Amino acid sequence: MFARDSAARYRPAPTRPPGRGTCHDRAMIEQRDKGVGDAAPGATLRLPEAARGPGASLARRLVVALGLVVFVASVAYADRNGYRDAAGGTVGILDAFYYATVSITTTGYGDIIPVTDRSRLLTTLLVTPARILFLILLVGTTLEVLAETSRAVVREKIWRKRLHDHVIVCGYGTKGRSAIEVLQAHGRLPADILVIDAAPDRVEEASRNGFATLHGDASRASVLEAASISAASVVIVASDRDDTAVLITLTAREHNPGAAIIAAVREQENRHLLLQSGANSVITSSEAAGRLLGFAAFSPDVVEVLEDLLSVGTGLDVLERAVGNGDVGRSLAELPATAPVLAVTRDGELLRFDDSRIGILREGDRLICLCSNAA
């Protein structure tokens, strides 16, 4: 069996013929600059968090603080005969809550005071500890919020410093999630993947799954720059709309001429637009699904095999590897039969296994092989 080659290779993006696509590209860029898109301008970076979020922590502390207020008010109202207000009147339920708020926050206007030894003792043993605990919650929460902000800034700086040759996935729908599964099956770590999406629920889901996320419109230059597009090695465009996919591809190619841009398109008639925009590879999702449906109508077993090939890490896999030193100068027929060669990539051209132009293998060729994951 051939060893897996983790290094990815992509054919260079096709050169745009002079005079073609110019008007279309200009119109698309004008739409982008005017704000036509799925989300408002700007983006919010969110790094994956394993611990509870600050909102839940603040809510829990707020509940505790309110509980302390209710506790002090209950103590004052239960011993209301031992308290007097400044006018000498008795203390009611509203007076008890008023006393609790001004006392526990250390405001202490002095208009309601304990006048009996019992009430003074209750204030000493119960109200004072509650006051101290309230101050601890207040100061602790303030410090934690400030520390959390500083920690987030430091984490982002460290993350950006380490960010290099990462994969940007534009769109966390069905296509984006499936693409990430394949990337991880081929050894990509979650830390090497950044998800951009304009839908808050998708961003939240991606963050829960351990990926760094950006909430924003991936067709905007500012959003891609926030994703360090210039340092990315691969950009996967998995937008739900073809026009958005073209805009993302144009913007990504403009800011990173050397990145491999892989885009999905729903309609075949829009495929050439993505290629002209700079995509290295374009997948027509609707036609691919339609072909599988057609196969399933007559040969369901064929579809099962194809699904097996697309499921990385189980059953059969289609892998790409460089030609080894021992394979140079040999024909395909002389290679081991344990991993049959389906195609050869030579000088940016894909040659099927039955193409007579393959002849003998040369240095620099890459083989697309069929292999088994059986133990």
∠255-260-261 over CA atoms, to 5°? 75
Q: Is residue 129 within 8 Å of 195, Cβ to Cβ?
A: no
Yes or no: domain 315-375 corresponds to CATH 3.30.70.1450: yes
Average pLDDT of the segment spanning 178-182: 88
Query: Is the pLDDT confidence value at 152 over 80?
Result: no
Domain formed by 22-36+164-308, architecture? 3-Layer(aba) Sandwich (3.40)
Consecutive H or E run containing 368? strand 366-372
Q: Identify the pLDDT of residue 86.
A: 67
Task: State pLDDT tens for residues 224-270.
Answer: 998 999 999 999 999 989 999 999 999 999 999 999 999 998 888 88
The closest alpha carbon to 229, from 205, 254, 247, belongs to 254
CA pseudo-torsion sign 352, 354, 357, 360: positive
- CATH number at 54-159: 1.10.287.70
The beta strands (E) that lie in 22-145 are given as 44-46, 83-85, 112-114
Delimit the domains of the chain by residue range: 22-36+164-308, 54-159, 315-375
Q: Which residue has the higher pLDDT, 320 or 276?
A: 276
CA nearest to 37, candidates 243, 201, 214, 194: 243
Handedness of CA 52, 54, 55, 60 (dihedral sign): positive
Contact 306, 285 (CB under 8 A): no
114-141 average pLDDT score: 69
pLDDT band at 325 (very low <50, low <70, confident <90, very high): confident
pTM of the model: 0.54
CB atoms within 10 A of CB 360: 12
pLDDT in tens, 65-83: 788 788 878 887 887 777 7
Does residue 39 register a pLDDT over 90? no
Most confident by average pLDDT, 123-137, 153-167, 269-283, 317-331: 269-283
Q: How confident is the model at residue 6 (pLDDT cuts 50, 70, 90)?
A: very low
What is the model's pLDDT at position 96?
A: 79
Mean predicted confidence (pLDDT) in 21-48? 50
